[in-house]
Structure 1
Amino acid sequence: MEKDFLQEFVQQAAKENTEKIAREKRKKYFQELGRKGGLKTEQNKKLDKVISIRMTHSEYETLIQKQEKYPLKLSTYIRNVLFEKELKINEFQTDEILLQYGTHFKKITNLLRNREWNVFENKKEILLRIENLIGLIHQYLYSKIQKNE
């Protein structure tokens, strides 16, 4: 009986040891994958060159005043102006507003689908118009995204 207990104990210890080794191998495997993986960055997007320029105090103040109109860092603003990129900052605010309208219209649609709102005679027509409007908003935003790409 003592031999059975001893053999069983040794087998269980060996089994636990192999499971522990397997867990550690799995953990190391995923750690190694983490080192290799991740999102690939575009090579030309790295900002690794530094240029310093000298300017007068008045030129610097003018530059700062122009830059403060946009929520950009000074270096980003200068880079956009230098490469004649359009500064479309307010455009994103209108997109946010449109997205908020879309969410509100979806909430209204969900409310109208409840049983409590059966008092409207033309509920189906209202739902159809709201869904069409949501579709138009999404179509406009996706076409803008595709145009920018």
Structure 2
Amino acid sequence: MKNEFLQDFIRQATKENETKIAQEKRKKHFQELGRKGGLKTKENKKLDKVISIRMTNPEYKILLEKQEKYPLKLSTYIRYVLFEKELKINEFQTDEILLQYGTHFKKITNLLRNREWNVFENKKEILMKIENLIELIHQYLYSKIQENE
């Protein structure tokens, strides 16, 4: 009788232990999936070195005037100029303008489709030209993205 009790106790303990191990394996499996999936983490390059420079007031004012043209902090602007990355800033501005044009053209096509614009005889031609223009904008932007990669 004691022997049966011990065997039952051991079986029950091993079953509980196996379920715990199975739960931990499942938890680790989903943690691994979470690490593999989702967005890639950005490489955070720490800016840990500080350089201080001295300049005159007119030099500082000129630097501030040049920096105000771009939506950057002064330190990032100086870093971009130092490493000759200033040209990329202007490219992003033209891309933003093109994206805005694309959204505006889409709004125009939606207005032409959804409302009664029967005044225009060549409504379909206008819609086709606008859709072609939107497609060209998207092709240009996607080609730029692929070139950068």
Q: What's the TM-score bracket when you normalise by the shorter of the two chains?
A: 0.5 to 0.7
Deviation at 1:56, TM superposition (A): 3.4
Indicate yes or no: 2:47 matched with 1:55. Answer: no
- Residues 116-146 of structure 1: CA deviation (Å, up to 9, x unaligned): 3345332222221111111111122222222
Partners of 1:56 and 1:116 in 2: CA distance: 64
Deviation at 1:57, TM superposition (A): 3.5
Letter of the 1:139 counterpart: Q
Partners of 1:122 and 1:61 in 2: CA distance: 55
Deviation at 1:104, TM superposition (A): 2.2
Partners of 1:49 and 1:68 in 2: CA distance: 25
Correspondence for 1:104:
104
What residue ranges of structure 1 are gaps of 5+ in the alignment? 1-25
Letter of the 1:56 counterpart: M
Partners of 2:130 and 2:60 in 1: CA distance: 51
- Residues 11-63 of structure 1: CA deviation (Å, up to 9, x unaligned): xxxxxxxxxxxxxxx99x98998799864233xx5024313233234454443
What residue ranges of structure 2 are gaps of 5+ in the alignment? 1-25
> CA-atom RMSD, angstroms?
3.9
Partners of 1:140 and 1:36 in 2: CA distance: 32
Worse-matched range after superposition: 112-121 or 139-148? 112-121
Indicate yes or no: 2:116 matched with 1:116. Answer: yes
Partners of 1:56 and 1:119 in 2: CA distance: 64
Q: What is the count of residue pairs matched by the alignment? A: 132
Correspondence for 2:16:
none
Worse-matched range after superposition: 29-38 or 66-75? 29-38
Partners of 2:86 and 2:121 in 1: CA distance: 49
**What is the aligned-residue identity percentage?**
78
